[in-house]
């Protein structure tokens, strides 16, 4: 169907704005559905202040900055405040709560994403709206959040203050979790395109990442995240994990059988078969809907990671695999 041609006619007839997003379910990962919708919404954003809303500060000394990516309001507010502490004012966020509150996006505005799977949205903002993309690692984990803020500040020629101390304070608050994950191994089968960012954070936590499976990767959009992964591995003294794009799950299962990792992060389809083989698993979809962005939410990531490890340790203490015979 010619949805793009029908939509304007229906808009005029019904008086209701219509956004055409062709999310057909044939993408590599379900998270790309969000990318498709945001790319469509980006084309609907107004170009001047009279037809939309923009958060502008009177003392703003840098070009307008628009952030894009679907996160809860609490997470968005945290990231906005972290940038505000460095003197960076966020002029708008895509998506907005309401269609009428879509941010103003004019040519020359700066945009920056918070999720690794929004390459189509980034391309639309650059090509259709003539914006400038700030390529940065994604704000997942204390290290990623610091790098994300530092990159935005560098583009606006702002010297960040107190970020190192802020990051170290968060790491100190995570010590109880770090004791549980250090030297533990993890295997990413690949499901939601968050794998590179999560692996980088877990390596920084002291975990061993055997393999990073990922359904699809836009190397241009994730270039800074890949560089941070390489830097993290170098600083931690470990090899860069094998990154497998669009992996063969059968071969992955064979590698898992040989490696016997402490944890496998996978889609729901493979979780139960792996658990039946005695391998701890975590659904990757849980990271998609959890609050994992920013400094303070790093604890939530490790809570998800350590839950199956703690559960397994508790079962061992119960001696559930010991049997007694009674005469």
The pLDDT score that the predictor gives to residue 54 is: 46
Spatial distance between the Cα atoms of 97 and 279, rounded to a whole number of angstroms: 41
Domain containing residue 94: CATH number: 3.40.50.1980
The two tokens of residue 205 are: 């936590």
Q: What is the mean pLDDT of the chain?
A: 90
19 found inside a domain: no
DSSP-derived letter for residue 9 is H
Q: Could you give the number of structural domains in the chain?
A: 2
Q: Are 100 and 230 contained in the same domain?
A: no
pTM as predicted: 0.90
- Look at residue 142 and tell me whether its pLDDT is greater than 70: yes
Average pLDDT over residues 105-127: 96
Residue 274 CB neighbours (<10 A): 19
Residue with tokens 């019904």: 14
Closest by alpha carbon to 171, among 199, 205, 194, 206? Answer: 205
Please tell me the chain's helix, strand, coil percentages from 3-state DSSP, rounded to the nearest 5: 45, 10, 40
Q: Are 46 and 126 contained in the same domain?
A: yes
The pLDDT score that the predictor gives to residue 1 is: 65
- Look at residue 264 and tell me whether its pLDDT is greater than 90: yes
14 found inside a domain: no
Does an H or E element contain 110, and which? strand 110-113
Q: Are 201 and 91 contained in the same domain?
A: no
Q: What is the largest CA-CA distance in the chain?
A: 86
Q: Are 119 and 219 contained in the same domain?
A: no
pLDDT digit string (tens) for 164-181? 999 999 999 999 999 999
Does an H or E element contain 272, and which? helix 268-276
Residue span of the structural domain in which 77 resides: 35-134
The two tokens of residue 39 are: 């790319």
pLDDT digit string (tens) for 286-324? 999 999 999 999 999 999 999 999 887 665 555 555 555
């Amino acid at each position: 169907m010619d949805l793009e041609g029908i939509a304007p006619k229906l808009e005029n007839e019904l008086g209701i704005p219509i956004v055409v997003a062709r999310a057909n379910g044939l993408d590599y990962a379900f998270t790309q559905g969000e990318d498709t919708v945001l790319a469509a919404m980006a084309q609907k954003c107004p170009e001047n202040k009279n037809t939309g809303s923009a958060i502008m500060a009177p003392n703003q000394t840098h070009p307008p900055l628009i952030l894009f990516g679907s996160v809860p309001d609490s997470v968005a507010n945290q990231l906005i405040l972290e940038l505000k502490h460095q003197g960076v004012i966020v002029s708008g966020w895509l998506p907005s709560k309401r269609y009428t509150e879509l941010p103003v996006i004019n040519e020359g505005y700066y945009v920056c994403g918070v999720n690794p799977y929004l390459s189509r949205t980034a391309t639309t903002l650059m090509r259709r709206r003539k914006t400038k993309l700030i390529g940065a690692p994604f704000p997942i984990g204390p290290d990623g959040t610091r790098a994300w803020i530092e990159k935005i500040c560098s583009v606006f020629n702002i010297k960040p203050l107190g970020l190192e101390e802020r990051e170290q304070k968060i790491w100190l608050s995570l010590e109880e979790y770090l004791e549980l994950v250090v030297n533990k191994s993890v295997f990413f089968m690949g499901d939601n395109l968050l794998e590179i960012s999560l692996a980088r954070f877990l390596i920084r936590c002291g975990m061993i990442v055997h393999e990073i499976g990922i359904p699809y990767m836009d190397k241009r959009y994730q270039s800074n995240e890949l560089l941070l992964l390489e830097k993290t591995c170098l600083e931690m003294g470990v090899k860069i994990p094998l990154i497998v794009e669009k992996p063969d799950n059968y071969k992955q299962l064979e590698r898992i059988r040989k490696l016997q990792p402490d944890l496998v992060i996978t889609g729901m389809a493979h979780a139960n078969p792996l658990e039946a083989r005695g391998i701890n698993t975590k659904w990757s979809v849980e990271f998609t809907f959890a609050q994992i962005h920013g400094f303070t939410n790093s604890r939530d990531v490790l809570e998800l990671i350590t839950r199956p490890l703690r559960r397994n340790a508790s079962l061992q203490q119960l001696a559930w695999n010991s049997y007694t015979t009674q005469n």
